[in-house]
């Protein structure tokens, strides 16, 4: 593990159908998971995350799909996920209003301390 982006927790290999062929979790954050920063950044169709309680492999593309194909939000979700599924974390964000979907343009955005939609510029009313 180093600081230059090649950080990886555990080992996970999957075949091209997304089935796990090898999985070794390591303890990180709050649980036993697999998380590969390099794969997330550079290989969007490779395994980059496996949550603690289910053997579901997530790829960078899965994170992108959960985040309206928006790089910034997907990167944020990948950073913060630490043992739950990214779907659960994204849902938590919605409940806590950390992400919103704009009423006007229908796009998702990170809403912490934001008063205007970054996509269409309309103001956000609580």
Residues near Zn ion, by CB under 5 A: 102, 104-105, 117, 119-120
Query: What is the C-alpha separation between 95 and 41, in angstroms, rounded?
Result: 27
For the bound state, the minimum distance from the C-beta of residue 123 to Zn ion, rounded and expressed in Å, comes to 10
Give the residue with the Cβ less far from Zn ion, 54 or 123. Answer: 123
Give the residue with the Cβ less far from Zn ion, 6 or 104. Answer: 104
Give the residue with the Cβ less far from Zn ion, 91 or 119. Answer: 119
Residue at token pair 């998380």: 35
Q: Please, are residues 6 and 38 in contact by the beta-carbon 8 Å criterion?
A: yes
Residue at token pair 């390099």: 38
For the bound state, the minimum distance from the C-beta of residue 125 to Zn ion, rounded and expressed in Å, comes to 12
For the bound state, the minimum distance from the C-beta of residue 68 to Zn ion, rounded and expressed in Å, comes to 12
Query: What is the C-alpha separation between 40 and 46, in angstroms, rounded?
Result: 8
């Amino acid at each position: 593990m180093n600081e230059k982006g090649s950080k990886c927790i555990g080992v996970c290999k999957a075949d091209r159908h997304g089935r796990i062929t090898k999985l070794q979790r390591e303890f990180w954050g709050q649980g036993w998971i697999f998380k590969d920063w390099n794969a997330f950044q550079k290989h969007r169709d490779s395994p980059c995350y496996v949550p603690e309680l289910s053997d579901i492999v997530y790829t960078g593309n899965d994170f992108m799909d959960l985040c309206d194909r928006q790089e910034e939000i997907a990167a944020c979700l990948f950073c913060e996920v630490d043992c739950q599924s990214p779907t659960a974390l994204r849902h938590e964000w919605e409940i806590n209003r950390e992400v919103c979907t704009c009423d006007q343009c229908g796009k998702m955005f990170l809403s912490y301390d934001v008063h205007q939609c970054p996509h269409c510029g309309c103001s956000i009313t609580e």
